[in-house]
Amino acid sequence: MAIHINIIRRYKKTVLAVVVMAMMGTNVSLAQRITTKSQTIDLGQVVYRKPVTARFELVNEGAGNMTIKSVETSCGCTEANYPKGPITENKPFIVSVTYDAKMMGHFEKYIDIYTSGASLPYTLTLKGVVVEEVKGFEGNYKIMLGKLKADRNEILFDDVNRGDIPTVEIHIANNTGDVATPVIMHLPDYLTADVSPSSIAPGGTGVVTLTLDSRKLTEDGLTQTSIYLGQKPGDKISPEKEIRVEAILLPPFRRMSERQLAYAPKLKLSDTELDLGSFEGKKKKKGYIQIENVGRQELVISSLQMFTPGLTVELPSTKIPPGESVRMKVTADKKELRNVRQQPKLLMITNDPNNPKVIVTVEVRE
């Protein structure tokens, strides 16, 4: 019995020692914690065989001093310089990375930082595109978005099919006297944004690439949102930084035979441009558009949406049998249209394979 008790005691001590060692290891690992505002720097366009250097600003937010044991890069074309001595708690430090391009095209290089007390490296990323000659944007930066200039503040992803992943570029220029690190704020889950380069010097330029993942759009037809261009991380959202983004998702149509097309519904409109004339002192103006089904199957208008406020639409039925028609009433509200920047328009999504999307523009004058 005494032997059995001694074995149990020794077992408990062993387990306790293992737990304490594991806890100590965890604490040491947590103590050495590196943070940074951005683990990725995009250099934008890099000239072939002309070395460029990026500076990563890091902070030791662990408990106690930290030492960088080594820094490893993913290729010989990338060299890193880093502090060789102890880095005290909460002290900022710089890791500078120089890239000497040996190949043309896009690149993405990784820098692994191994520190005392941490079992896994902290990884930084350097990316960009290697070109023979840096080429600038030849258009006009005609719009102010906060303190930055841009060539546009309205984006339309048109005629998108489910599964498409289209991209659109916004060219920006730093009109300030400080280095800008632009950010896109309030992105919905179906949009991603990449800013290149990550930092733009005073007077410099860059590109924002917006990517739409159509698989994340919930409904066919028009989806609208507003995103905002900030000069740096933590910038505040305001109306003058707004970028309007619209996407039109088409209904899915399988490949149809000639016979199926011959028997499909067919939309015919009296007009796609509705001129309501002048308000002439009235608060509202109305007009009509005739919608006819000249096909052989029922025409279904699955979505009817406005691009802007200030318009209302009345439709007797969204299902039109072959050979029949309905009259759609469009009403413009003077007060609501007063602050609208865009051309008033409405969107119809139908089951006509040749006209799945129809846009009607509306003209109305003061």
Cα distances (Å, whole numbers) of residue 140 to 137, 144, 149, 155, 242: 8, 11, 9, 16, 18
Query: Per-residue confidence of the chain (366 residues) as pLDDT tens digits?
Result: 444 444 444 444 444 443 434 444 433 344 468 999 889 999 989 999 899 999 999 999 988 899 999 999 998 899 999 999 999 999 999 999 999 998 999 999 999 999 997 889 999 999 999 998 877 788 899 999 999 999 999 999 999 999 999 999 999 999 899 999 999 999 999 999 999 999 999 999 999 999 999 999 999 999 999 999 999 999 999 999 999 999 999 998 767 788 888 899 999 999 999 999 999 989 999 999 999 999 999 999 999 999 999 999 999 999 999 999 999 999 999 999 998 888 999 999 999 999 999 999 999 998
Cα–Cα dist 286/340, whole Å: 18
What DSSP string describes 61-127?
A: -SSS-B-EEEEEESSTTEEEE---S-B-TT-EEEEEEEE---SSEEEEEEEEEEETT-SS-EEEEEE
Beta strand pairing call for 357-365 and 273-278: parallel
**What type of residue sits at position 124?**
L
3-state SS class at 202: coil
> Which residue in the block uniquely carries the two structure tokens 């730093």?
174
Strand-by-strand arrangement of the 191-196 sheet: 143-145, 148-150, 167-174, 205-212, 191-196
CATH code for the part of the protein at 143-249: 2.60.40.10
Report pLDDT for 342: 87
**Residue 295 is encoded by which pair of tokens?**
């096909």
For domain 34-131, give its CATH number from 2.60.40.10, 3.40.50.880, 3.40.50.20, 3.30.200.20: 2.60.40.10
CATH 2.60.40.10 intervals, the chain: 34-131, 143-249, 258-365
3-state SS class at 283: coil
How would you class 85 by CB atoms within 10 Å of its CB: exposed for 0-12, middle for 13-18, buried for 19 or more?
A: exposed
Cα four-point dihedral sign 197, 201, 202, 204: negative
Assigned CATH topology for domain 258-365 = Immunoglobulin-like (2.60.40)
Tell me the chain's radius of gyration from C-alpha atoms. 30
Cα–Cα dist 214/323, whole Å: 35
Report pLDDT for 300: 96
What is the b/e burial string over 278-296, where b = at least 16 CB atoms within 10 angstroms of the residue's CB? ebeeeebbebebebbbebe
**What residues contact residue 75 under an 8 Å CB cut-off, 6+ apart?**
109
